[in-house]
A and B are shown apart, each in its own frame.
Chain A
């Protein structure tokens, strides 16, 4: 089982709709969770971080964490073509400094 798993997609969503990205992780003791957006040829940029169970909202983005199910998700409301990118889920595992990344989900927003 991979430490962090994402559906690699591609995920295609019409403009204005909600895009839902999912991620599961293997280490139950993981503490910190991050969503990054990466455009082709660029480095990742932080979208959201979440540390406790529940929802965290920032503008059009909502991160959801369920530690019991070892599941973290990212919702993008009112999707825009500029949201088209690869979204990386990253987890800071118990007792470690490093981030472990999922394989990324390629999201395409269709005008």
Chain B
């Protein structure tokens, strides 16, 4: 249980274009989702927290106009990287809180973004 599906698993795009990454909770309702970025050999860096039906809360230093987050339903959150540049190339991972007994955080499989 508590499965999060993330798509696409990898994407290559040209500089200046936008890329959308989807994160779906398959067997539970995800009121709260998180978006992380991970550079090679580094840990996960939280970009933002999104709550269903409200604006995302961005961490300090993360440009909200560049990384658009939408959490319009209890099962879907999207991250759009707008006007992508090579420095945005990274591994993006979504996560969601699942409830009930043994609550915790489950992670999507990640999206490898390469901007050329």
Q: Which residues of A contact B (CB under 8 A)?
A: 32, 34, 36, 41-46, 49, 88, 90, 97-104
Contact = CB atoms under 8 A, between A and B. Distances in A.
B44 A44 contact: yes
B95 interface: yes
Nearest to A45: B107
Given A98-B49, A99-B95, A104 B43 contact: yes
A45 B104 CA distance: 11
B90 interface: no
B106 to A, nearest CB: 7
A101 B105 contact: no
A41 B111 CA distance: 10
8 contacts: A34-B105, A42-B109, A44-B44, A49-B102, A90-B105, A97-B49, A98-B34, A103-B42
Contacts of A104: 43
Contacts of A97: 32, 49, 97
Nearest to A49: B104
Give the interface residue-count category, chain B.
Answer: 20 to 34
A101 B47 CA distance: 13
Interface in B1-35: 6, 32, 34
A32 B56 CA distance: 23
Given A97-B32, A98-B34, A43 B97 contact: no
A64 to B, nearest CB: 18
Contacts of B104: 32, 34, 46, 49
